[in-house]
Amino acid sequence: MSAIVLDGNRIATEIRMEVAEEVRSLSAAGLKPGLAVILAGNNPASEVYVRGKVKSSKEVGLYSEKHTPGHEVTTEELLELVSDLNRRDEIDGVLVQLPLPPQVDSKRVLLAVDPAKDVDGFHPLNVGLLSTQRPRLVPCTPLGVMEMLRRSGVEIAGQNAVVVGRSDIVGKPMAMLLINANATVTVCHSKTRDLAGVCRRADLLVAALGRAAMVRRDFVRTGATVIDVGINRVSDAEAFHRLFPNNPQREETFRTKGSVLVGDVHPEVAEVAGRITPVPGGVGPLTIAMLMSNTVRAAKLRRLNRAPELSRA
């Protein structure tokens, strides 16, 4: 048995095309959605992520800005920048790229973002709206997972869903979205007893714990749908060969780049799962696609003074 691979790249392309059409329609009516990204410091990984977000913004027709205060920026300086972006009507989304430099109080900066412009969906107001089944702006990664499930025809209502990970960014909002979609949800974490046994009861398993290849074959019921949110870089040759024996394509990548990406799910799980997301090319592309979608949604909620269709929430 080999699992059906859920193609995140294809679904993300569909969403971006839909967003681009919506942006064209809004722009023709005099409303061009705008996104501002704050990238503080000199974190190479963050710089890559932000480049991808800015590039995607341009591709779908959004107005976009990138603000790059230096590594020595203070909390007060970032609060002043966020306050300025909050006041500007042409900016519909404000995204603060994490991590911020160590001297900055990240929580204060994130809480300063206007909830109506919180396209990451992290503000407590938006978290509260999601938990009470009135979603407005929802965290992009779990929202992307829901889009993938919906567009792939995966049944959610009535299913046993297990979410491994309880972060505010993925685990908790993922669980709330699944509950709102009428799944029966269990949230697991580092203190869960018999983690493998709990996971084996899942019809739908979401791995979002940030540990490379932790979810093994014995965690997964035959035929289950497995969503791998993790992105981990493996650069040790011994670890690589344990994970990807007799895999010429991966070996070529490892040889040329010196590393490969692996999710939180071990590659062997594809032999027992019914459906599975790859890493890379699974959930990752959907995160940026949903950021674009959230920016358009924020623009419509703010500037048209009416709620758009809730199909993506």
Per-residue pLDDT tens over the stretch 266-293: 999 999 999 999 999 999 999 999 999 9
Q: How confident is the model at residue 1 (pLDDT cuts 50, 70, 90)?
A: low
Environment class of 77 (CB within 10 Å of its CB; exposed 0-12, middle 13-18, buried 19+): middle
Q: What pLDDT is stored for residue 48 in this prediction?
A: 87
**What pLDDT, in 10s, does the model give residues 147-189?**
999 999 999 999 999 999 999 999 999 999 999 999 999 999 9
**Nearest 5 degrees, angle CA 43-CA 55-CA 279?**
70
Of the pLDDT bands very low, low, confident and very high (cuts 50, 70, 90), residue 311 is very low
pLDDT, residue 260, reads 92
Query: Looking at residues 193-218, what average pLDDT do you find?
Result: 97
Residues facing 34 on adjacent strands:
63
Residue 209 has pLDDT above 60, yes or no: yes
184 forms beta bridges with 160
Query: What structural domains does the chain harbor?
Result: 26-120 (3.40.50.10860), 140-284 (3.40.50.720)
CA 2 to chain centre: 26
Cα 288 from Cα 9, distance rounded (Å):
11
List all residues 6 or more positions away from 82 whose beta carbon is below 8 Å from its beta carbon.
38, 94, 96, 109, 112, 113
pLDDT-above-70 percentage for the chain: 97
Give the pair of three-digit tokens for residue 281.
């090319």
Q: Is 309 a residue whose pLDDT tops 50?
A: no
Q: Active-site residue numbers?
A: 53, 97, 120
Query: Could you read off the pLDDT of 101-130 as tens digits, one per residue?
Result: 999 999 999 999 999 999 999 999 999 999
What are the E-state strand segments in 121-215?
160-164, 184-188, 204-207
